[in-house]
Structure 1
Amino acid sequence: MQSSHAAARVSARFDDPNLVGYGGLAPVVRLAERCGLPALVDEHVRLPASTDGTGAFPAAKLMSLVGGMVAGADSIDDMDRLRHGGLPRLFSGVRAPSTLGSFLRSFSHGHVKQLHAVARRFLPELAAHTPLLPGADQVAYVDIDDTIRRTYGYAKQGAGYGYSKVKGLNALIGIVSTPLAAPVIAATRLRKGPSNSARGAAAFVAESIGTARACGASGLVVVRADSAFYGADIVNACRALDVRFSVTVRMNASVKAAIAGIDDVAWKAIKYPKAVWDQEGQCWISDAEIAETTYTAFTSKPKKQQVTARLIVRRVKRLNPAAVPEGQGALFDAWRYHAAFTDSPLSLSDAEREHRRHAVVEQVIADLKNGPFAHAPSGHFQANAAWLALAALAHNLTRAAGALASAFHAKATTATIRDHLINVPARLAHSARRLTLHLPEHWPWADNFTQLFDLVHTPPPTA
């Protein structure tokens, strides 16, 4: 690629009132309307009346915020991207960044809870209108994790140093996925930076499970989490709601003793990265092996809180035996051990493999941090909590649009969906009281865009 020979005579002017930088917002906003997002906001979000009108028309303001996030906004000032060229003709009710900032700062803890109620109801509507969670009636996974959103300066309410030794705010994320579908966000909570990962996690797990059930997860449901969430409250919350659990355990003395009691013949090699299939022996040659034993957890708790289930252990050859932590003993000289406590009904190899796939939650966290949650944009804690909830709404809406467009976009990152389907330049033309979007010729994903556009603009079937 090189500049045209006429490049010296090229000039640039921002003077076309009919151009739109985000042509893909039209079908995405239409999808949100068909799934009832504005109506849900009007029903559940009740902000106090004020002389400056901050609490008025919450649906228009929330739709502006979600639309901006879908288009790639990651700060309040970024919302100004919705007011260029022909966008005011394509959408009505777009609010200015200053109005949206005042709106977010008016949120209290109760109003953020109202926003969570909207999110809990909106995701099942998306799942009902789009192929968002195929296979949820057979198997679904609920993954819980938290992350630190780094902040700077001294003006952020709630910011502090947590487990990562980084100053910021703690975001608790609950996602739901299936073996056939990319993950979507079932619940969010913003907490102070120094918050313990498992603080309030039992109730959060219950909320995430409820949302997953509402999305059609009527079959096997497994809750997965890392060792920060290994505790009696969380495991018993899963059992009370009739779902399975798979939680990484901490290497305490009783877990080490249970691992030491596993017979050597019980270990079997697994298909691990760089594993080689031995045709003659009909087995995998790998540096990773798995085994399981029965284990009773939380023995320091009352009898009714103790749980007996499977302890699934994966061991990997230690490359540097000299690096064994002091006091570990001969058991850990040659191997590193990773254990998960689970009541999964799957076979040993399947249960261990599915537990490792808990890492899918990191994809969602990366999507959020590379998108609308790149910043905690306000100095007000509750405004940032509302921002996180809206970022989850935008994430799920983007995923639903991708699921309608193509099988590829159903599993693509939200950044890819934005680049291919949403940030599409367009020119507005008005004729016979109709608006037409003229999009770039030879756009590589034109067929996917057209499928999304046609599906959301087709009248819904009559009962």
Structure 2
Amino acid sequence: TFGFHPVGVWCDNTTEFLAAKLRTGNAGSNTAADHIEVLSEAISQVPAGHRKRLLIRCDGAGASHDLLDWLTAQGKVRGRSVDYSVGFAVTEKIREAIALVPTSLWTPAVDADGGIRAGGDVAELTGLLDLSRWPTGMRVIARRERPHPGAQLSLFEEADGWRYQAFVTNTSTGQVPFLEARHRAHARVEDRIRHAKDTGLGRFPSREFAINQTWLMLTTIAADLTAWTRLLAFTGEAAVLAASEPKALRYRFLHVPARLVHSGRRRRLRIPETWPWVTAIVAVFANIAAIPEPA
């Protein structure tokens, strides 16, 4: 990557790559100005009718006063509701609050389907912390889980054998296990990042910033075209392609050994009948052709 450090925003509902900003390698991971800029661009990409209720999730790099203040202000925009769920560092103050939580107040964590998540508990720390310098309405929630064999633990964690993580949210309703499961779903962005790297994000072509900035823009376009194709065309007989990783998708669909021929003023794409995914590819083109034109 020639030392460049991009930051990006994805839409969890559609897997679209909404916005990205190329930064030099010495850019801080928690630079609030960069986060605010790219989030502003991302929100503007969402159609106006779908901006009324937004959930912004990010890891601990977003736990800055400036970003959380900005997110809080976005929630006050007329006709818009903005909730955030942001990773939070387990500092000494957080550890002191965790130590004050009675065993009876730790609640079993849940999975996305509502089932009990084995080996994990959650508890709210909001009332045990001084949050006067943070945005009004911010809540702090901790999760503890039994570590996997070989995991590195802090001295605090070694004392009781639990591994701790924390996040903050401004969502005022909903039970703590639900809010924690909702936050944990942020991990899906790792798939988006991996796919983007396989689509060009992991291989910037130059040491020149401007060239790589153009490359990044092309990467976001490629990622969005892939996302839209999955949503709109990988259905029915084409559904077999839906779970394909970018490398497999290029081989099975984009790099198919076909020929474009002209016949009777029409162009035809001839795909070998022996190609394993020929039925799915034909279905993709049929699905695309069936998409109605914009009004």
* Cα root mean square deviation, aligned: 3.0
1:377 aligned partner: 205
Q: 1:271 to 1:430 in 2, by over 3 A?
A: same
| Partner Cα separation in structure 2 for residue 427 and residue 268 of structure 1 | 60
**Unaligned segments of structure 1, at least 5 residues:** 1-148, 152-167, 273-282
* 3-state secondary structure, aligned to 1:251: coil
1:366 to 166, 179, 194: 194
Q: Distance in 1 between matches of 2:293 and 2:30?
A: 45
Change over 3 Å in CA distance of 1:406–1:191 after alignment to 2: same
Deviations 1:25-66 (A, max 9, x none): xxxxxxxxxxxxxxxxxxxxxxxxxxxxxxxxxxxxxxxxxx
Corresponding residue of 1:286: 118
Aligned-partner Cα distance in 2 for 1:441–1:320: 50
Q: 1:256 aligns with which of 95, 116, 129?
A: 95
Written as runs of structure 1 = structure 2, the 5 A alignment for 1:41-80 is none
Structure-2 residue corresponding to 1:355 = 183
1:306 lines up with 2:139 in the alignment? no
Give 1:338 deviation, angstroms: 0.7
- Render the CA deviation track for 1:298-334: whole Å, top value 9, x for unaligned: 64x4xxx5334222211013578996535x388x532
- Asked if residue 401 in structure 1 is aligned to residue 229 in structure 2, the reply is yes
Shift of 1:263: 2.5
Q: TM-score, normalised by structure 1?
A: 0.54
Q: Does 1:265 align with 2:100?
A: no
Identity within the alignment, %: 28
Match of residue 435 from structure 1 = 267
- Which residue of 1 is the match for residue 19 of structure 2? 187
Q: What is the distance in 2 between the residues matched to 1:323 and 1:437?
A: 55
Q: Which has the higher contact order (CA 8 A, sep 6+)?
A: 1
Partner of 2:78: none
Distance 1:196 1:264, change over 3 A: same
1:430 Cα deviation (Å)? 1.6
Q: Which runs of 5+ in 2 are unaligned?
A: 76-81
User: What TM-score does the superposition give when structure 2 sets the normalisation length?
Assistant: 0.82
Matched position secondary structure for 1:370: helix
Distance 2:121 2:271 in 1: 54
Shift in Å, 1:450: 2.1
Quote the Cα distance in structure 2 between the aligned partners of 1:455 and 1:264: 55
Q: Deviations over 1:153-205 (max 9, x none)?
A: xxxxxxxxxxxxxxx11010111112xx4x22110011010110122212222
Q: For the Cα contact (< 8 Å) 1:321–1:334, is it kept in 2?
A: no
Secondary structure at the counterpart of residue 452 of structure 1: helix
Q: Distance in 1 between matches of 2:148 and 2:285?
A: 53
Show the counterpart of 1:105: none
The letter for the 2-side match of 1:241 is Q
- Aligned residue number for residue 335 of structure 1: 162
Asked if the contact 1:292/1:311 (under 8 Å) is kept, the reply is yes
Partner Cα separation in structure 2 for residue 386 and residue 252 of structure 1: 39
